[in-house]
């Protein structure tokens, strides 16, 4: 059982990450800093996820008595990175690529404690059934996937009706690999 006395700050506006930390039984506060999510072109998908998580962590001046957790989730299909869509057309294009295919989800996590970063990532392979355009448009109109990497949330209609199977962590696809995070946080117990 994890019983931390060190305050935890989750540096994420993601309601899914906040929900997952709550479900883990952790007390935490949320603090946000704007960070440009750019990265060097030569990085692989897992390296990008960790790079951006570390960039987010570096934006904080840590106090000796706090743990800051940052994360970034990347969706990759056939070597292409699918970020967050800005328009309906971009969401349509991304969901069309995922339709009938498998893809990988990588979440990079950084834990900043007293200026020392511990970073890791997790990988999940996701298999999707084929979608028609009507289903894609329904999903975009009803679930507004504009804040989600790859244009979908595994915890909503898409995950319930489109995802056929996962290889790896479900919570990783939600945006925070809680199983690995828990093991890292035990070191602070």
112, 57 contact by CB (below 8 A) = yes
Indicate if 122 belongs to the active site.
no
Here the tokens at position 136 are: 């894609």
How far is it, in rounded angstroms, from Cα 96 to Cα 76? 14
DSSP conformation class of 48 = H
The catalytic position among 27, 65, 72, 137 is 72
- Please list the alpha-helical segments (H only) found in the chain: 15-23, 45-58, 88-98, 133-143, 157-161, 170-174, 178-185
How far is it, in rounded angstroms, from Cα 81 to Cα 119? 21
Helix (H) or strand (E) holding 103: strand 102-113
Q: Which residues are catalytic?
A: 72
């Amino acid at each position: 059982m994890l019983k931390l006395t060190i305050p935890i700050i989750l540096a994420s506006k993601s309601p899914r990450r906040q929900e997952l930390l709550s479900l883990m039984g952790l007390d935490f506060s949320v603090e946000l800093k704007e960070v440009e999510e750019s990265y060097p072109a030569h990085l692989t998908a897992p390296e990008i996820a960790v790079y951006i998580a570390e960039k987010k962590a570096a934006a904080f001046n840590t106090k000796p008595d706090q743990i800051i957790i940052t994360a970034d989730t990347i969706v990759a299909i056939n070597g292409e990175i699918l970020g967050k869509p800005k328009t309906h057309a971009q969401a349509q294009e991304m969901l069309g690529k995922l339709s009938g295919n498998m893809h990988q989800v990588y979440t990079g996590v950084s834990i900043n404690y007293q200026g020392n970063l511990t970073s890791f990532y997790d990988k999940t392979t996701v298999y999707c059934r084929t979608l028609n355009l009507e289903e894609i448009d329904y999903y975009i109109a009803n679930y507004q996937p504009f804040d989600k990497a790859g244009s979908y949330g595994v915890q909503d209609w898409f995950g319930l009706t489109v995802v056929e199977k996962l290889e790896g962590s479900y919570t990783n696809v939600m945006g925070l690999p809680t199983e690995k995070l828990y093991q890292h946080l035990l070191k602070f117990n």
